[in-house]
Amino acid sequence: MKVKGFNHLTVNVKNLRESLHFYTEVLGLQVVHKGNKDAYLEWGSAWICLVEQPEYVEPVLNAAGIDHIAFSIEEDHFAEAVEILRTYNIPITRGPVKRGIGWSVNFLDPDGTRLELHTSNLAERMSVWK
């Protein structure tokens, strides 16, 4: 088997309307489809599916599984993005901080899913990684 690239993420959410607002208005993802209990949003060449799960279980920190979801952002737009997070009172959990060559800020979506905005790519990160 040879996996050729990243395709999509599916994120369970408590309230589709609230999460859809966050991912479109705050993060700027584009809605491709909205159903009664799901929505598909595009960013770059990948996409996110939000699925409303009324029985949603709270995320557990330091557990096995996905730690966070990181989005690329141009460094020229990074400071503005951090201000937008602050304007919307989005909980920032770390940063903004310089990580290797790039800048990062970690924050939470409405359900506590840990997200990150990061300005560098893998090659740049590895050039200074120890």
Which residues does the annotation mark as catalytic? Answer: 116
DSSP collapsed to 3 states, the chain: CCCCCCCEEEEEECCHHHHHHHHHHHCCCEEEEECCCEEEEEECCEEEEEEECCCCCCCCCCCCCCCCEEEECCHHHHHHHHHHHHHCCCCEEEEEEEECCEEEEEEECCCCCEEEEECCCHHHHHCCCC
d(CA 57, CA 100): 34
